[in-house]
């Protein structure tokens, strides 16, 4: 198991102090374009705030690791619950929303202190809470094992509610064997959601009530679609085992789209999720095709935005 790099009691003291330097890193201007994560970490999600910090979740035990993009140095800021941390999303108040994988849970972490502000049980029994996004005054989570979205609806001034709500997925999507609803993003007009079904390669526009409609992409499939990143009307889809990013230009309601670019890189080794900073797209390499051990190296790479 991944050896924790810091005790939780030391988090506050280290909040402004860089941790150990990674084994290697390359830079472009004032930020690093590639850098290492701890050996054995098994990264999945990424979130980047306005300040040059990137956050990563571990599939091993759910630890949250923060990296300064200027130096490539990092440290654990919040210890996990012993189950995975997958998709991540950071809000303007410094709250990190975490998808809990087969733990069936979600939690909200204050990145300034590492304190867990709230935990939610989204699904009991078999579950795979995979990714999260913000839209419609809520945080929305996908479940790759069950045809539901889970909504955490914010109260006044962003207050966290006591409980989440399960929203059944209806309409065009049909769950099959394998990894189903995965990455999630808002539509360009902000009136709905976009989800990718990894095993079929289909994209769906989804209403707040869970009604799904297939997005017309001219027959193009994004099989192995994982993390999604919306930039204007451009939707960037990470196709993890295909080691590429596909850019789809959408209409404002996300009813149709066309592929306008694909991006590959020698630095890709099954990248999963995606975030943007300083004109670049950053992706953690999950290395799903490499048997994981406590000594397995992991890193983060980036490419220029097409």
Q: Residue 162: helix, strand or coil by DSSP?
A: coil
DSSP tag of 285: B
Mean pLDDT of the 144-156 span: 98
Q: Phi/psi of residue 79, each to 5°?
A: -75, 140
Residue 86 has pLDDT above 70, yes or no: yes
Q: Is residue 140 part of a domain?
A: yes
Residue 191 has pLDDT above 80, yes or no: yes
| Structure-token pair, residue 12 | 């506050």
Mean pLDDT of the 131-158 span: 98
Q: Is residue 2 part of a domain?
A: no
- Give the whole-angstrom CA distance, residue 14 versus residue 289: 34
What CATH number is given to the structural domain containing 50?
2.120.10.30
Q: Residue 67: helix, strand or coil by DSSP?
A: strand
The pLDDT assigned to 258 comes to 98
- Give the whole-angstrom CA distance, residue 216 versus residue 212: 12
Could you give the strand order of the β-sheet that contains 257-264, starting from the edge strand earlier in sequence?
225-231, 234-239, 244-250, 257-264
Per the structure, the complete domain to which residue 243 belongs is given by: 8-300
The pLDDT assigned to 50 comes to 82
Q: Is residue 120 part of a domain?
A: yes
Q: Is the pTM of this model over 0.75?
A: yes
Q: Is residue 305 part of a domain?
A: no
Mean pLDDT of the 180-186 span: 98
The kind and range of the H/E element at 131 are strand 129-135
Residue 105 has pLDDT above 80, yes or no: yes
Q: Is residue 147 part of a domain?
A: yes
Number of domains in the chain: 1
Q: Per residue in 207-248, pLDDT tens?
A: 999 999 999 999 999 999 999 999 999 999 999 999 999 999
The pLDDT assigned to 2 comes to 42
The pLDDT assigned to 28 comes to 60
Residue 65 has pLDDT above 50, yes or no: yes
Residue 23 has pLDDT above 60, yes or no: no
């Amino acid at each position: 198991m991944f050896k924790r790099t810091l005790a939780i009691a030391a988090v506050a003291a280290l909040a402004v102090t860089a941790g150990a330097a990674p084994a290697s890193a390359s830079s472009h201007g004032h930020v690093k374009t590639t850098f290492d994560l701890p050996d054995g970490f098994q990264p999945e999600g990424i979130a980047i705030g306005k300040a040059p910090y990137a956050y990563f979740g571990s599939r091993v035990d759910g630890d949250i690791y923060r990296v300064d993009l200027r130096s490539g140095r990092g440290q654990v800021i919040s210890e996990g619950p012993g189950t995975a941390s997958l998709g991540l999303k950071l809000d303007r108040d410094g709250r990190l929303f975490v998808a809990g994988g087969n733990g069936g849970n979600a939690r909200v972490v204050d990145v300034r202190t590492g304190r867990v502000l709230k935990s939610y049980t989204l699904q009991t029994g078999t579950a795979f809470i995979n990714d999260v996004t913000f839209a419609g005054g809520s945080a929305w989570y996908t479940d790759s094992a069950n045809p539901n979205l889970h909504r955490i609806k914010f109260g006044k001034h962003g207050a966290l509610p006591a409980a989440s709500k399960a929203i059944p997925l209806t309409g065009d999507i049909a769950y099959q064997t394998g990894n189903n609803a995965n990455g999630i993003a808002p539509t360009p007009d902000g009136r709905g959601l976009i989800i990718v079904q990894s095993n079929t390669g289909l994209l769906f526009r989804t209403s707040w009530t869970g009604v799904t409609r297939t997005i017309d992409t001219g027959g193009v499939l994004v099989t192995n679609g994982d993390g999604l990143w919306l930039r204007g009307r451009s939707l960037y889809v990470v196709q993890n085992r295909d080691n590429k990013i596909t850019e789809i230009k959408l209409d404002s309601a996300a009813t149709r789209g066309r592929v306008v670019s694909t991006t590959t890189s020698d630095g890709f080794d099954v990248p999963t999720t995606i975030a943007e900073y300083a004109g670049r797209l950053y992706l953690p390499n999950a290395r799903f095709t490499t048997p994981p051990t406590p000594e397995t190296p992991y890193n983060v790479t980036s490419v220029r935005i097409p």
